[in-house]
Amino acid sequence: MSGLIPDQLQACALQGLQACDPDEKIRLTQALRRAWMAGQLHLADLDAPAAEPMPAPGRPALPRLVSPRTLAQRGLGTLQGRQALVHAVAHIELNAVDLALDALYRFRGMPPAFYQDWIDCADDEARHFVMVRQRLRAMGSDYGQFDAHNGLWEMACRTADSLLARMALVPRVLEARGLDVTPGMITRLQAVGDDDTVAVLEVILREEVAHVKAGTRWFRHACDLEGREPIETFLGLVRQHMGTQLRGPFNRPARVEAGFLEEELDRLAKLALEPPGAAPSV
């Protein structure tokens, strides 16, 4: 099984999650999908030990993780500015591998289609990281040479005990933000003639829709399990966990393709415009 030690899906996902070297994490993730597709992995028994808390996944020594507020904002008119942008995308993609692996490891007793979705997602994100890192190296840099932040994993920790919250806030808020901002990044890079980076981002944008759609599918499944109304539940979780950090505008065509409803987007846009401390209006 290409270096995968156990034959249980959740244990293999944990193995990849704990790998510190990015190349090893990618290799284990890709091997996991091959083993799953070959029928070599089984799901954990319902009486198996529960998933352990994961304060941090395996990570390389660099990049240094800092507050998002301290990250330098660089223009794309310089090589260093474009390197910093591509580095930020690489960091997001590697985090996305960990997030998908954690969903596989953490949430037990789900239908096989749940695990298929997040195995596919982990494999896509691994391929995206490789593409972005290759582009970064072609630009004269590499992963780890710029600071980064830990926001994606912090949300994973905050939602570790709830499938409902995880599916709402990681794929449908944090990862969906990529659907909103990537078209603008592509336009700015086209303006400075960086067509090679544009080509990479276009692949990521096209394929990320399916990942957000998987989040939508399993968020609604979790709502059904708990007898909750999806729109009110989603907006309530966004207000609770995001507060004034929610940002628009939203890429409505991409989000609709990813399963968002028009009413949901209307109310999400209204929520993003609320000033701090505003009374709930969603």
Give 259-276 pLDDT, tens digit per residue. Answer: 999 999 999 999 887 544
pLDDT band at 97 (very low <50, low <70, confident <90, very high): very high
Question: What's the pLDDT at 74?
Answer: 77
Cross-strand partners of 148: 65
How much is the pTM? Answer: 0.93
Question: What's the pLDDT at 18?
Answer: 96
Q: Are the C-beta atoms of residues 282 and 267 closer than 8 Å to each other?
A: yes
Question: What's the pLDDT at 6?
Answer: 62
CA distances from 273 to 10, 264, 277 (A): 40, 15, 12
What is the percentage of the chain residues whose pLDDT exceeds 70? Answer: 93
- Check residues 39 and 73 and name the one with the higher pLDDT: 39
Closest to 63 (Cα-Cα) out of 49, 43, 83: 83
- Domain spans, the chain: 9-41+74-273
pLDDT in tens, 108-135: 999 999 999 999 999 999 999 999 999 9
Question: What's the pLDDT at 68?
Answer: 86
Look at residue 142 and give its three-state secondary structure.
coil
Question: What's the pLDDT at 245?
Answer: 78
**What is the distance between the alpha carbons of residues 32 and 15, in angstroms, rounded to a whole number?**
10
Number of Cβ within a 10 Å radius of residue 3: 10
Question: What's the pLDDT at 93?
Answer: 98
State mean pLDDT over 10-15. 94
**∠ Cα 71 167 148 (to 5°):** 15
Helices of type H across the chain: 9-18, 22-37, 79-106, 112-138, 151-158, 163-169, 176-191, 195-226, 230-242, 252-257, 262-273
What is the percentage of the chain residues whose pLDDT exceeds 90? Answer: 82
The distance of Cα 171 from the centroid of its chain, to the nearest Å, equals: 6
Cross-strand partners of 65: 148
Q: What distance, in Å, lies between the first and last C-alpha atoms of the chain?
A: 49
**What is the distance between the alpha carbons of residues 282 and 279, in angstroms, rounded to a whole number?**
9
- 280 pLDDT more than 50: no
What value does the CA radius of gyration of the chain take, rounded to a whole number of Å? Answer: 19
pLDDT in tens, 219-237: 999 999 999 999 999 999 9
Closest to 125 (Cα-Cα) out of 50, 207, 7: 207
- 38 pLDDT more than 70: yes
Assigned fold of 9-41+74-273: Ferritin (1.20.1260)
- Check residues 83 and 75 and name the one with the higher pLDDT: 83
Three-state DSSP string of 49-72? CCCCCCCCCCCCCCCCECCHHHCC
Angle between helix 79-106 and 151-158 (nearest 10): 20
- 77 pLDDT more than 70: yes
Question: What's the pLDDT at 279?
Answer: 30
Question: What's the pLDDT at 10?
Answer: 93
Residue 154 token pair: 């912090």
